[in-house]
Amino acid sequence: MSGEPLALYVHWPFCVSKCPYCDFNSHVRAEIDQVAWREALLADLAHEARLLPGRRLTSIFFGGGTPSLMEPSTVAAIIDSARTHWEPAGNVEITLEANPNSVEAARFADLAKSGVNRISLGLQSFDDRALAFLGRAHSAREGFAALQTAQKHFRRVSFDLIYALPGDTEDGWSATLAQALSLGTSHLSLYQLTIEPGTRFASMVARHEFEPLGADAAAALFELTDAMTSSGGMPAYEISNHARPGQESRHNLTYWRYGDYAGIGPGAHGRRLGRRTVRHRKPENFIGALARNGHGVAEEAPLSAVEGADEALVMGLRLREGVDPDAIAERFGLPAIVAWSRVERLVDSGHLKREGSRIALTARGRLLLDHILGEIAAVEEPRALAVG
């Protein structure tokens, strides 16, 4: 596996406050010992590096949580260490997620100096009422100011918006999208609001404090998004991610194309050499595990051929470029991973397109990803053979 590409994910688990829709591994703490956290993340990184020698580092992604709350010197130390452990590829993509407020924007210059070359900004909305509903700590005005600062310091800037909020209309979302496309970034992540179990929004919906937007209205907004971003030169390359050609997130493409990635920091998932890894989620447990074991791994297990192939299919179908199920089957030593007769039926019904053995969702199919996966992956005979 020497020289094989490798992506590195670094999870910073802290936020200033908890957003009501958030089910990420994020925690609010009165005090954070930055030095202790730097040492912990560097030790966790060294553990992965020992198990993955000789790899070529293609991307680093600082996610969270709110990684723009990390000291830039900690970010720099992790980047430098990763570049020492692994041979960096020619142009390593180094992304950091940031919240758009003035405190964090003030750090952008230092983060750029530390080696970050791409920023992903959580704008979420251009409307103060929507931002208040989403429990965000920034205003629309602060968001625009942070975006300008980001564009001054980073050549590659992406931002996130959340749509399909209660009461969202096609006219309103179309005006927001037109504005988003005019802001000069090369990448957009556009997520529909989903009510995740265990979040404050889930309790509010259960208490009938608000009604989520209906499925038909949300689907209409998704189709509008597809049409407007395509004509605006930023088509979807994944269900929720849009980019100008060549500006796709290389790091996320590694996930979706089922490449290896090391995941360090609390709750981080990783996939290395056919094994899945999960770190301790709670920051205190993660630090405790590092002190005891020299790494933060909570669980590690080999992926079976069927699990690996299923994941590769699920991930790959999210991409506009689609996947080659026969190549996945060959990679995992399985006779087949899809029922081609069912694939053909979905091609006939306009939900999938097929070129040779490569398949991809159509615009219509993208609304029904889970359903389609259930249909095509339900392969009785070969699967039964493979599982045994």
Q: Which long-range contacts (CB under 8 A, 24 or more apart) does 112-115 make?
A: 112/153, 112/154, 113/72, 113/76, 114/72, 114/73, 114/75, 114/76, 114/79, 115/75, 115/76, 115/79, 115/80
- Measured in whole angstroms, how far is the alpha carbon of residue 80 from the centre of its chain? 23
Q: Compute the least distance from the CB of residue 301 to ligand SF4, in Å.
A: 27
- In order of 59, 109, 119, 156, 160, the CA distances from 152 in angstroms are 22, 9, 11, 10, 18
Q: How far is the CB of 300 from ligand SF4 (least distance, A)?
A: 25
The least CB distance from residue 259 to ligand SF4, in Å, is 25
| DSSP conformation letters of 20-80 | TT--SS-B--S---HHHHHHHHHHHHHHHHHHSTT-EEEEEEEEES-GGGS-HHHHHHHHH
Judged by beta carbon, residue 170 or residue 284, the one nearer ligand SF4 is 284
Footprint on this chain of ligand SF4 (rule: CB under 6 A): 15, 18-19, 22, 24, 26, 64-66, 99
Cβ nearer to ligand SF4, comparing 258 with 286: 286
Q: Which of 339, 326, 333, 331 is nearest to 373 (CA)?
A: 339
Q: Which is nearer to ligand SF4, 26 or 95 (CB)?
A: 26
Nearer Cβ to ligand SF4 (268/346): 268
Nearer to ligand SF4, 23 or 223 (CB): 23
**CB of residue 21 vs ligand SF4: minimum separation in angstroms?**
7
For the bound state, the minimum distance from the C-beta of residue 325 to ligand SF4, rounded and expressed in Å, comes to 34
